[in-house]
Structure 1
């Protein structure tokens, strides 16, 4: 069946003729690693952050969440803003802004000022995670595009792993200040390195920016919504399970460390499978296999190997979700909108998943967690199937 993905015939012809610019793909991935580190640099140093701000109390963990809250509030409109500013210009500006903000954070200002800096950092983060996959899709050939989007889908896991590996060295050099200085300096260097590589012409058409209109456009247009329609359920699972399962199964440290790495491998495989399978089918397959794996986790507990299976098959979902952005949308502006939607919904899932799973675990144990996991996967399957049926 032919899918109406939007865009002009000229745009479609141009994209069909392209060869993948792999140098720029991996340079953009590095930019994404720095964006993910905007979360990781605080998440992985929370005890030190509490020591730095003893007066902060319960507000200190909120400093981590502020970036995600910005994504929830502004994600849907971010695509239109990035398209209007220009994708390459928005990316460069966001990297520079993020770098400068991190350098200011290194002064460890008053916690209220730090919170404002984190809010501004959330805008920078959102611009990067909208601009980068949109650019990646535009510089990839049709046959390579699913792989390229699968590579992008690994950015968060890779960044957290690298940040965790570098933190002991950075902290020994100068504590929290060294972490923020390294992050800020790295973002500024990345902006300088990327600038000459980025496309000079505008690849997206500017559109009027209206907060409510953008929400209406994204959430009433199935081809814009379908990438986030599966991704939101995945994000509600991933961080929550990393928080709950180690407690539920008394996991050793090496297993906790291995699970995100296994997810990265699964996501990369999802990118290659995307060359053979339509992204909506791969999302549904990922959810079905996650249901099966969750049952194995429960019935085989306390065995560890089912967890590796679970995180491997679950990782197919983000690869397929990001591949769905260019698969169902030719136009760069529509891709930016779809990416804004996936950013908003991803932050909704990440923010709400952990407290829900913790509550269920406290009340119903591992069985309740596995049952909830299956229910969420069923919702993902149903929503993805319904949205696909509405795309002509």
Structure 2
């Protein structure tokens, strides 16, 4: 059951990845779009930035099983529409709608996984969930791109629709017998702005999201701006190895260390290891081992961050709020990370970009230190 919910996470990550992996060819579908094509990637995150933190209470009111199944069904319907080669304006509208489906999955999924797993296995289960983005991008590169070469760009949207629909049916049936927390009252629309304050004032609920902001500022940005500095003959291998290193480290070393360290400490350790790798890469620009080491260290951050959600929050409602805040901060980090790196690069060269990266990694470790001190003071 945990693997089935994790597969739903892969479908959610593919809502980003299905455009990212074919972005260089999107002009074939919409030749008149020009630079507006970039919105086909970023618009999915719009609702996550606006509504991520308040999605938790709505998922708690609607029911976590129902939220996950309906989000998968809606995602399938949107992908099926996209496979019809809509006009560009309508296509962008479907990408905004797809953001709501994405938000439902990434909020309800980790709550259900925490509910399904035992206390002893919860660290492993949450670490598995944390890999969904990296695994989805790898699967799309291995299977999605050959599908596109054989059947065209629209075939990828159709395949995604079929997978999401199959998961909706599978989980709709399989989750019926799974006990889930009782539903919470439905928040009123007028209460939405006020829902953010208690979430971000809580050093328990907000802690995973606070670190996640700095992680997501770096992950996509590193994969975007570092490649030109890697030697041509090694670039493809290194770029393929980086997400795999992140997955491998989180599922092996990360799971092992979670037996002895709480998730927050593991995330801090990962941030410090990332900072060390950044110094290595600063000294040796484009060094393949430094790039892979940085990606591996990021795996510790992602595993520790998701493991911290159930460790710091005992109730399902609090866990949903923490997952929603992570979705909000993750979308914000993905949005601002790459422009920030590009700005640093243009202003101060490679050294300026690496300095910005170093500051972000150290800030991720520091924010966890500050919030841990607040939790001790409020305990």
Normalized against structure 2, the TM-score is what?
0.94
Q: Deviations over 1:72-128 (max 9, x none)?
A: 011011111111100000100011110011001101111111111111110000000
2:226 touches 2:286 (CA, 8 Å); kept in 1?
A: no
**4+ residue stretches of structure 1 with deviation over 4 A?**
199-202
Give the Å deviation of 1:41: 0.8
The RMSD of aligned alpha carbons is: 1.4
Q: 1:202 to 1:136 in 2, by over 3 A?
A: closer
Q: Deviations over 1:192-216 (max 9, x none)?
A: 1112221555414413423212211
Q: Deviations over 1:129-161 (max 9, x none)?
A: 111111001111111111111100000000000
**Which has the larger displacement, 356-365 or 225-234?**
356-365
Query: What secondary structure sits across from 1:275 in the alignment?
Result: coil
2:267 pairs with 1:290: no
2:220 pairs with 1:239: yes
Q: How does 1:364-379 map to 2 (within 5 A)?
A: 364-379=348-363
Cα distance in 1 for residues equivalent to 2:8 and 2:118: 21
2:274 touches 2:294 (CA, 8 Å); kept in 1?
A: yes
2:115 touches 2:180 (CA, 8 Å); kept in 1?
A: no
Cα distance in 1 for residues equivalent to 2:185 and 2:123: 27
**Which has the larger displacement, 286-295 or 205-214?**
205-214
**Which has the larger displacement, 379-388 or 334-343?**
379-388
Q: Deviations over 1:156-197 (max 9, x none)?
A: 000000011112332144212211111001100111111222
Give ranges in structure 2 of 5+ residues lacking alignment: none
Q: How does 1:197-216 map to 2 (within 5 A)?
A: 197-200=174-177, 201-209=179-187, 210-216=191-197
2:318 pairs with 1:334: yes
Give ranges in structure 1 of 5+ residues lacking alignment: 1-23
Query: What secondary structure sits across from 2:181 in the alignment?
Result: coil
**Which has the larger displacement, 166-175 or 239-248?**
166-175
Match of 1:223 among 164, 188, 204: 204
Cα distance in 1 for residues equivalent to 2:295 and 2:24: 27
2:76 touches 2:161 (CA, 8 Å); kept in 1?
A: yes
Give the Å deviation of 1:275: 2.1
Match of 2:56 in 1: 79
Cα distance in 1 for residues equivalent to 2:210 and 2:185: 24
Q: 1:220 to 1:155 in 2, by over 3 A?
A: same
**Which has the larger displacement, 43-52 or 342-351?**
43-52
Give the Å deviation of 1:302: 4.5
Match of 2:135 among 142, 152, 158: 158
Q: How does 1:138-287 map to 2 (within 5 A)?
A: 138-200=115-177, 201-209=179-187, 210-250=191-231, 252-268=235-251, 269-287=253-271
Q: Deviations over 1:299-333 (max 9, x none)?
A: 23353212221111122111111111000111111
Number of matched pairs: 369
Match of 1:4 in 2: none
1:248 touches 1:366 (CA, 8 Å); kept in 2?
A: no
Normalized against structure 1, the TM-score is what?
0.91
Cα distance in 2 for residues equivalent to 1:168 and 1:123: 26
